[in-house]
Each structure stands twice: as C-alpha cells, then as structure tokens.
A and B are shown apart, each in its own frame.
Chain A
C-alpha cells in the first residue's frame, strides 16, 4: 500500500438531543425525556491509499453513513480529524476546507435540487470555485455529461424528467465536475433497480480507471462491495470490527459478525446447498442510545463469553486482516 491519502483519525460522532430547560424540568419531575446522546461513530480510524477503493459495510444504523458524511466534510466529528494528504478536510468550526472530496448520495430523487436544471446543478460548484467560468460552463458541463453517459442535450432539463438511474448519473457528474480525488459514495446504488445498479457500478469502475479516483464506498450489499472494493471494512454499532483486503475477508472472515453477515447473504442454490437455510443473525442490533458494555456484538454473538461483556476488543492483526474480537487475543474467558 502506498502512502495514505484520505486519513480518518480516531473519529467519533455523538448526536446530542437539544435539551431545553423545559425538558430538564420534565425529566426531574419523572417524565421520560431522552437526555442522552447517540454515539453514532466510536473512535474509528481508517486510511485510504490513492486510487484505492475501500468498501464500508454494515447494517442500517451502524453509523456508516455518519462516518461517510464526516469523511466528506459535510459533518464535523465530535472528536478526531479527517485529513486529505495531511490537511484537514474540515475546520474545527465546521467549514469544509477542500473541494477534492465529493459525495454521491443514496437517493437521487432527494439529492438533486428539483428547481434547478441539470446545467445549473452541474455548473454551480465549479463556477463558484473557479474550476470553470460562467461563459465556458456549458462546454464544461457537456464534457461531464459525456463522461457519465448522458446526452449533452439534457442540460436544460429538470431532475423530475429523469429516471432514477439517469438522476444518479447526474449526481455523479455533479460530484465529478468538482474534479475530486476522493469520492465518498453513500449507498449510491441502494435505491436503484438491480439492472440499473449494475450500470452504475460499471460506471464507477470506468471512472476509477479513467480518472484514478479513490472511493470510500458505503453499502450494505456485500456482493456490490466485494465487486468494487480493494479493501473492505465491516462496521457494527459505530465501530470497525474487521478490515482487510476484499479477497481475504470474503475467503476467511474472522469476526463472528462478519461470518454471520456473509452466511446470511442469499445465494444461488448449488447442488449441496439445496434446501439449506440461510443463517440470519440472531436478535436485533442494540440501540446506539444504550450500547452494551464490552464488545458491542456480544449480545448477538454465538461465541461470546464473560470477557466480551467486560472488555472492549481492539482491532489487531489476525490472519491477513485486522479483527476486533477476543477470540483471537486470548479467548473469551476472563483472565484469572
């Protein structure tokens, strides 16, 4: 791996509810008012090399989108920093400092301003940041429309005139028009039809080849992530529980959560698998309002022991990847 490019350094995010005086009085009087915050991301560190694609996988609510928003400089972390080539992506005051990290959002029906034409959507950022001039904007925009496989004649049209796949192409073109090095893709195909998903995934692969982009690719779809990623990180309840190259992680998952995730993927029936049932993960993801002590996964883990309740495991090299699980660091029993 060459030098890290985008570095996420011990980043945490906590969402605190706005507690008013009234809430406090009500709580004192015995009302059930939520005064605690949600710890969405807990002490996550990641480094992505130039040209690399890091897949980030996890269940809904595990904090992967929050982590993506912090990586993209949309949201300020509660603690920790995100740096691009050593320079912070966001000021402490919450102002984004770079245009070289851009974002593609999940829902292309929500991420495009319905009152702006395609041309305006694509040209706004580049003109505001001097990547093109107002006079040249039309050609500039047309170039990026070509790149994402859209017709140049679409510049004057509005988002509601397009299908989901076309809208996602517009959203990708908007991000690319800022000439980023890093693209944070937050579930970019989750809301698309399967056939369209494949087209968009191929577009991401083509763009990476042509432009040398670095991706942080967030998804809950293990197949999609494996297809596009060099390395994969598995997230559970705000923490990275396992990270490694896609090949190693899929061939030999170590963390019980990763194992369970991969086992729960529906797959085609092969001879020996006919009639076999998928193994869903038992139980529900715990509430991030009240995360369990110790290893966050111990409430659902088949291998959990007393040490898992008492002690939070660290990410340590295990096999070809790094895993946060006591199974690989001395067992789940408490040391005497």
Chain B
C-alpha cells in the first residue's frame, strides 16, 4: 500500500539534470518611469492635454513677466479703456487681445493672474486633502473595529452630500480668506481620498508581503507607511489629479458666488462673476474668456488623469 519503492529516500540531496546553476540572467532594468512615459506618449490627446497643463502652469507662474499689465495695480488702469472688445488698442499703446473689463483691466493679464491663484488654491487644497484623507483611510484600514467604523461612516456620510454644499456652509462659517477657503476645500474633498486609500489598503493588507512584515515583526507604523502606502499610491495619484481639477472648479464656483477669496486676490471665478452682469449687453468677453481658460485647464487636467488611470489599471491593459 505504501509507495516506498519509488518515493525519494529521505535526506539525500536530489540529483538534478542541471547543477545548482548560476541564476538565469536578469533582464536589464528598465526605469519604470521611462516605461510609463513611453506608454503615455501613445495617446496624442493625453500628450496635448499634458502640454496644455504645462503651458498653463508656466504662463501662470511667469504671469508678472509676460503680461503687458499688472491688472491689480490701480495706477495702471485707465477707465477710458474699460469694457473694450478684444483686439482694442488701449491708451498705453498695446493691444488688449481679449478685451478689457469694467475697470479697464487687460483681460489676458487678469486671466493669467487669476490662473495663478486658482492653481495655487487647487494644488494646496488637493495635496492637503490627499495627505489628510490618505492618513485617515490608512488608519481605518489598519485599525479595524470601532475606529474603522467611525472613520468610514463619517466619510460615507460626507460623500452623500454635494461637495459644494459642504464648502458653502464651511465658508459661511469660517469667513473669507485663503486659509479658510483651503480648509473648506480640504474638508469637502478629503473623503474621496479616504475612501480610495481605505479600499486599496484593505485589499493590500491581506497580501503575503504584509503578513511577512508582521512575521518579522515590524511596527504597525512601519508596515502602514513603508509597505502599504507605496503600494496604494497609483489609485491615489489618479484621484489626486481629478480632485485638484475639482478643487479649482469648486474654488471658482465659490468665488463666483462671492464666497471665495477677497477682492484683493481675484481668481478666475471672480473674473467670471464680474463680467456676468455684462453678458446680456453684448460684452460677452469679460465673462467668457476667463470661463474658457477655466474649462481648458480643468479638461486638460482631467484628460491627463484619465490617461494615468488607464495606464495604472491592469484590467484595461491590452
């Protein structure tokens, strides 16, 4: 009944056709970043979108040097030039390519300065929301039990409210100002990061390499931040891209409603709002051009985010 004759005899090393060979040559390492870029390049829409984002960011950063006018220096403004259509050559002798607003500001300059503020608010709020939300999601996934339930139910509750509603209430409560606005944007958006981080971390912590880390044993903090966090970055990067675009839109909305930044720091939303009253009187450019700038920026960021998501999602791989 027992297969004694042909099973291995105990303790003798197994003889192999090949000796304990030198391990097979390892393929030369390809930088993952380079591989990522090679794939990214395949989509020309995504490349254009990325170029637009880069261009807009550069233009916003360099605004003081490339604009013909500092639109917020009252001394520069001439009421004679107010509400002029695109292409008008003003008293200063240069062409207002996008026209001027009610105070005689050059709209192109105002848009570039507005982009600075919009981008700044979107980036800061997005990144703060990323770190706050990710930390909460990781803590929830790692601790489990009541802490997990408490954090995730709050997050769920918040996700059931429209972000704009929450931001409106918070701005009304906190008052105006950059810090307050960022706080409101973060509060409205961290939940998306918490959800994503929680879901990804909950899947990741069941994997063998996390068990291996527990087996050493390593501290919970090290396991969460050194092992789990780097492995859940891909989905977080995707959410971050989209949420930065959303922060910019949300900030513009709040400013349009007059609840955003103070008048001294006009963002795109405020420019749109300022021109709104002239829309029906044919002076469309005061509102429309800042609006187009906003749309181009948000669409471009979203396209870049879409492409990154497609590349990081193994299920969409051909």
* Chain A residues in the interface with B (C-beta under 8 A): 69, 72-74, 95-96, 99, 102-103, 105-107, 110-116, 124-125, 128-129, 149-151, 154, 157-158, 161-163, 165-166, 169, 171, 174-175, 178, 195, 198-199, 201-202, 205, 222-223, 226-229, 246-247, 250-253, 259, 262-263, 265, 267-268, 270
Contact = CB atoms under 8 A, between A and B. Distances in A.
A223 B217 contact: no
B280 interface: no
A157 B213 CA distance: 19
Can you list the 6 inter-chain pairs with the closest CB atoms, starting with the nearest?
Answer: A111-B208, A96-B217, A110-B208, A125-B216, A198-B14, A103-B215
B208 A107 contact: yes
Interface string B1-34: 1111111111101101110101110110100000
A72 B215 contact: yes
Contact of A267 (B3, B9, B27): B3
Contact of B10 (A73, A151, A226): A226
A259 B24 contact: no
Interface string B26-70: 110100000000000000000000000000000000000000000
A96 B215 CA distance: 8
B252 to A, nearest CB: 37
A96 B214 contact: yes
B208 A226 contact: no
A265 to B, nearest CB: 5
Nearest to A265: B3
Nearest to A184: B215
A155 to B, nearest CB: 12
Given A73-B217, A103-B215, A202-B14, A250 B4 contact: yes
Contacts of B9: 227
Interface residues of B, number: 40
A85 to B, nearest CB: 18
Main secondary structure of the interface of B (DSSP, over half): loop
Nearest to B18: A195
B7 A226 contact: yes
Contact of A150 (B11, B17, B23, B230): B23
B209 interface: yes
A128 B216 contact: yes
A165 B26 CA distance: 13
A23 to B, nearest CB: 14
Given A107-B208, A161-B29, A263-B1, 14 more contacts: A103-B215, A105-B212, A110-B209, A128-B218, A150-B23, A161-B26, A163-B23, A199-B16, A205-B11, A226-B10, A227-B10, A251-B4, A262-B2, A265-B3
B137 to A, nearest CB: 18
Contacts of B226: 124
B222 interface: yes
